[in-house]
Structure 1
Amino acid sequence: MILSLITGLELSKPTSFRLPGFSVIGHRGIGMNVLQSSDRRARGVKENSILSFNSAAKYPIDFIEFDVQVTKDDCPVIFHDDFIYSEENGIVNESRVTDLSLSEFLLYGPQKETEKIGKTLMRKSKEGKVLKWDVDLDDSLCTLQEAFEQVEQTLGFNIELKFDDQTVYEREFLVHILRSVLQVVSNYAKDRPVIFSSFQPDAAKLVRELQSTYPVFFLTDAGNEIHNDERRNSLEEAIQVCLEGGLQGIVSEVKGVFRNPAAISKIKESNLSLLTYGKLNNVGEAVYMQYVMGIDGVIVDFVEEIIESTTRMMIRPPPSSSPLPSPSKDDDVAITRPEFSQKEISFLLKLLSQLIQH
């Protein structure tokens, strides 16, 4: 029995979970980095760092999302890409993150000890170029334990469990990796809200099997890319994964939801929560449309801008004849979902579907 393999983990007490209204979630902290972007916001703060997480915590958000992998000596670290790059004497070196020890991993980039100089940290772009990882505000690489210890305690963690898309994993290996992550969560999470998520369907189901304290969401790009594992190719398949594994929700690429809006009601009928991610979530109007549609939350890169634009769009002052007392000068006006007819919503969804297909 798997539980015997994680002796010592105190994660068996079921905890009720509900997303706090419509949630704006910071992607990799205050936002992901795009190295050659002309938008300075995409190169502002080093993603997946303590600095990025605490920068996001300055805004009224409930969660940040970040990526966790496990080093070869069983330490959960926070890093997105499967491979890490550096350059020495004009030669670019590539290492798989999970093939490094913790001490080797932490040698990349800025060092915590100011007198030390780390390896030049580089990154491969989508075009295949290996570029120096330049940002305005840099920070050292970090572990999951450090995030729990050093990030604002009220900020929830959406922990994405990272696995290589091209690798087929044995169950025993997944148990070993997940045990390393769960041990850190057990030791350091305290009262912090935590959500687990993964694109790897077996890992998502297994982390739910190993513990019942924290909700688990299945990540899917909902058909925007086609994978050998058919469970990853549609929202309908994602629903099935969740129902089979007793998972609590889905995190979908937003275009997949806009292309298949009928899936939203199926997800809700299955008693699942729905979050989205993707570039469209950096557009205030697209985020507001999801709020109207009843989606539970969005993962965004431009935290400050999306918080401002969605708050502005969602505020609905009470009419002058309202029997409700006026809000005090210290309170924001109550946020309520606008009431649209089903015909109006259908029209807006068809319009969005047309727009994102071009």
Structure 2
Amino acid sequence: MNNTMIFGHRGYPARFPENSLEGFRYAIDNNIDGLEFDVHLTKDNVPVVIHDETVTRTTDGVGYIKDMDLSDVKKFKLRNGEKIPTLEELLRIVEHKEIFLNLELKTNKIKYENIEWIVTKLIDQFHIINPIIYSSFNLKSLKNLKLINKNAQCCYLTSRKISNPTQFMQKHDLSALHLSYSDQTIMNNERVWTVDSSFRMYNLLRKNVSGIITNNFTKASRIRKLIS
């Protein structure tokens, strides 16, 4: 039996705009295992779901999230006409649902003050069935999360090779590593991003890695079903 979990990378970008509520809803309605998404803070400290530090690439606007209040951010539209979602809006559609959430804190370029506290306190207001999986390229953010919640599932994102991944996870109190490659020594504690080719999906699913993060979860699901 294949136990690899399939996470929709920013929802379902193969069909819908990345990090859009439309994409998230479709993925949920079609039985995805988990959703991966990105969080930044607006100038007035509202967590919003968008990948880049700016709105420029994914919307009809220009500028940095950190320099805008939420009211400014909500003026811009994704290509499907939706506005940039807040974390609260996403949590409302996943509340009470049997789905895993991988929340990436985008703190590797901009150090949003108190983002870890703001995000965790917001999540506490919702009934989320499964524990949140937090990931970041910034180890300090993950350490901050652990100070707020010692039981938080924290996962370090990296594309660089880690010579002794088990020791690294123990040293930094990590639950898993989110890697751009597969490390066979920690297959039960790794999720691999971003896996989009059929060949790579097949190989990683055959290895039974803990999880894959993909732009096309429906294709990954079909391949998993074939080899199960």
CA deviations 1:301-325 (Å, max 9, x no partner) are 111112112211x13xxxxxxxxxx
Q: Distance in 2 between matches of 1:197 and 1:237?
A: 19
Unaligned runs of 5+ in 2: none
1:262-319 deviation digits (Å, cap 9, x = unpaired): x421x36xxx6100002xx21233222113334111001111112112211x13xxxx
TM-aligned CA deviation for residue 56 of structure 1: 0.8
Aligned counterpart, 1:161: 105
Q: Secondary structure at the match of 2:163?
A: helix
The amino acid that maps onto 1:22 is T
CA drift at 1:205: 2.2
Letter of the aligned partner of 1:209 in structure 2?
L
CA contact (8 A) 1:85 1:94 kept: yes
User: Are the equivalent residues in 2 in contact too, given 1:82–1:164 (CA < 8 A)?
Assistant: no
Structure with higher Rg: it is 1
Q: Match of 2:125, as an amino acid?
A: N
Shift of 1:239: 4.9
Q: Does 1:84 align with 2:21?
A: no
1:154-178 Cα distance to aligned partner (Å, 9 max, x none): 222110000243x5x5xxx65x121
Q: Distance in 1 between the 2:11 and 2:41 partners?
A: 19
In the other structure, the counterpart of 1:68 is 39
Instruction: Find out whether 1:273 has 2:200 as its counterpart.
Output: no
Q: One-letter code of the match for 2:198?
A: G
Q: Contact between 1:70 and 1:98, CA under 8 Å: does it hold in 2?
A: yes
CA contact (8 A) 1:50 1:151 kept: no
Instruction: Say if 1:70 and 1:23 are closer, same or farther in 2 by CA, change over 3 A.
Output: same
The counterpart of 1:245, out of the listed 172, 177, 189, is 172
Equivalent residues in 2 for 1:293-304, closer than 5 Å: 293-304=207-218
Inter-partner Cα distance in structure 2 for 1:296 and 1:78: 25
TM-score scaled by structure 2? 0.87
* Structure 1 counterpart of 2:38, one-letter code: D
TM score, norm. by length of structure 1 = 0.57
Partner Cα distance (1:237, 1:199) in 2: 18
Instruction: Report the CA distance between 1:141 and its aligned residue.
Output: 1.2
Q: Could you tell me which runs of 5 or more consecutive residues in structure 1 were left unpaired when the two chains were aligned.
A: 1-19, 32-40, 87-91, 110-120, 122-133, 223-233, 258-262, 316-358
- Matched-pair contact (CA < 8 Å) for 1:28–1:66: yes
Q: Which runs of 4+ in 1 moved over 3 A?
A: 237-241
Q: Secondary structure of 2:124's match?
A: helix
- 1:29 maps to 11
User: Equivalents in 2 of 1:147, 1:22: separation in Å?
Assistant: 24
Task: Measure, in 1, the Cα distance between the counterparts of 2:73 and 2:165.
Answer: 33
1-side partners of 2:165 and 2:19: how far apart? 26
Identity across the alignment (%): 23
Which of residues 56, 67, 72 is equivalent to 1:104?
72
Corresponding residue pairs, total: 224
- Residue from 264, 271, 284 that aligns with 2:184: 264
**Cα root mean square deviation, aligned:** 2.4
Q: Secondary structure at 1:243's aligned position in 2?
A: helix
Distance in 1, Cα, partners of 2:61 & 2:89: 27
Number of the residue aligned with 2:27: 56
Show the counterpart of 1:196.
Answer: 134
Distance 1:59 1:237 in 2: 38
Matched, 1:95 2:63: yes
User: Would the alpha carbon gap of residues 58 and 282 (structure 1) be closer, same or farther in structure 2, given more than 3 Å must change?
Assistant: same
Aligned counterpart, 2:124: 186
Looking at structure 1, the residues matched to 72 and 192 of structure 2 have their Cα atoms a distance apart, in angstroms, of 34
Structure with higher RCO (Cα < 8 A, 6+ apart): 2
Q: 1:72 and 1:238 mapped to 2: Cα distance?
A: 36
Structure 1 counterpart SS, 2:135 = strand
Cα 1:160/1:218, change in 2 over 3 Å: same
For residues 68 and 168 of structure 2, the distance between their equivalents in structure 1, rounded to whole angstroms, comes to 32
Query: In the alignment, is the contact (CA less than 8 A) between 1:26 and 1:303 conserved in 2?
Result: yes
